[in-house]
Chains A and B, each alone.
Chain A
Amino acid sequence: MERYYQPEIECASQEQIRAWQSERLVKQVQNVWENVPMYRKRMEEKGLTPADIQSVDDLRKLPFIDKDDLRDQYPYGLLARPLKDCVRIQSTSGTTGRRVVAFYTQHDLDLWEDCCARAIVAAGGTNEDVCHVCYGYGLFTGGPGLNGGSHKVGCLTLPMSSGNTERQIQFMTDLGSTILCCTPSYAAYLAESILERGVRDQIKLKAGIFGAEAWTEEMRHDIEEKLGIKAYDIYGLTEISGPGVSFECSEQTGMHVNEDHFIAEIINPKTGEVLPEGEKGELVFTSITKEAFPLIRYRTRDICVLSRKKCSCGRTHVKMSKPLGRSDDMLIVKGVNVFPSQIETVLMNQGYAANYQIIVDRVNNSDTIEVQVEMTPEMFSDSLGAVAKKEKELVSGLKAMLGIYANVKLVNPKSIARSEGKAVRVVDKRNLYK
């Protein structure tokens, strides 16, 4: 039996969801018009006033904002409420330049925790569960978000934070943790450590909620098998609230976006045009219930697909795929969008190492794409035919994934240029943007 945290919302009709979205969007636009100078200026530049936004259908009239805007407006520029109404900040783990700081009112925290609670219940959580949270606590949203959601569900919450694997396993066995919340890579590491110590039969885990980084289906199966659990994906970003913007249900075929709080759109990253359901493009979010730090049409740079196919779990909110790549990395070859992550997926599926380089060129006014892959001992054989066959399989695999022909070139190990230890993934010789 599927259980829900807020069934009347999570299983509402599509019409009801749209009605909520329209009503909240109209209010939110009025709110930012009155309280955030940057939004007002951007709308005025497009000749818009709040009166132009009457429903969700008008959303596409509004301008986008992106991470650069957030950095420019640091720290208080996008605040829509007086500071005295704010009770918390969280921040991104940005590696370069200024950080992004997001503000929350008590109401904002409350709704965010509801979103996380929905994810925990979708993973089978009840007030009988012991929820082991080893996302980082602090400025990072992972720990605080799941911690709050876990409280709402009524789980016994273990605020472990990250690191100290020895202690993690000890608490897990002594206190009988049943739900594990952490990054997928840490879950994989914990699984290894548990098997190494031979304490697999002493853990009671039944589910894991893993997010904050990209992971593959293979990784999911590996973790599920090693820990004997069901592993659920969760997605979020600090700018929008944190984890719980969307989450996976029992079907494990995509993450339901909490559409009563966030409107998701997919756009063509080059033109900004809104794409129809099912097409791959950049994910854009509008937070319609946020009080302190509302974002209108925020470009996430994540490449996704949305689906409104009926879900077997009973939830009606739109599902998003795992991010398939970053729009910053997107290449257009022969008019087709190509993401390095797609190529990487094919390589991994066929047993190659992720040491590759994509070379795009233009010969006689026609685009060419070549994938250079480092040979591995596992893929090698003394038979020319056997190696050539594998190479052909790779060509067909790439064709199936990308929709265009990519030339494959097998190269020696360690021959792909690395700068500061990091491989250069794409060499575009066309100079299209110069």
Chain B
Amino acid sequence: MLELLDSGFVLGQLRSGVTTAIFLFLIASGLSLIFGVLRIINFAHGSLYMIGAYIAWDTTARLPGYGVSFWASVLVAACVVAVLGAVVERCLLRFVYRREEHYQLLFTYALVLIFSDAAKILWGTEAHSVSRPHGLAGSVELGGVRFPTYELVILAIGSMVVIVLWLSLNRTGYGRIIRAAALDREMLGALGTDVSSLYTTMFMAASFLAGLSGALITPIRSVVPGMDVEIIVDAFIVVVIGGLGSLWGTLLGSLVYGMVLAFGIVIFPRFSIFAAFALMALVLIIRPWGLLGRPIR
């Protein structure tokens, strides 16, 4: 634990914690948004992230001129996943909104299995990797710590997503309608909003974020089967800590969890995930609705 006295080491762990937190936020915010508005817990959200990663890998490999092609494939992946999300919502999820929660959970879990097998059939079972885009392969030195340039770009993109999400929810007319839908969908419908098309749009936006984060992570982590389940577990820990349905809660939960993973390695070298679970259990006992969430009436 003496490493904690070394400021370079601390900064390095801080850096890795923040990067982890950004990806967690991109995933968990979609999960949280879907729960907040559609009142459905979507296990398949991690699958959309995985599919985003596969599509990004696949498109990058096909497109000529690496560098431009990486960013093009990130965009392609996010958009394809957004459309896939919309199709899933329209054709499948729509029919389970009125069912009991355990049925919905089973249903979205079935989607996880289907997507995971489909990905194996389409892209095989071996691990794939994507190299960092040109110009972003190096690193920048700040305060004695080397920050990989790509991670700085991720930081910028992540911060932008936070700001755009907050502004759209709180400062636009459509955002106000979304917040109203989270509070009372029947009343909103009686006032004239087509709530079912709003749901599709929400699901599409959340899927876009999932696809985006899946694509963006490819230069950092390899694309493998199982990444869907791994991320969804992490995302659930985040929303449990932060509070399901709260944007700031999701951000706080992502940062806390990212830091616990980064520094937990030092304190419990072989059990950093244990620290996260312990934290989640603690939050569940003290504030079952999460740090910034609200009790559900």
Report whether chain A binds chain B.
no
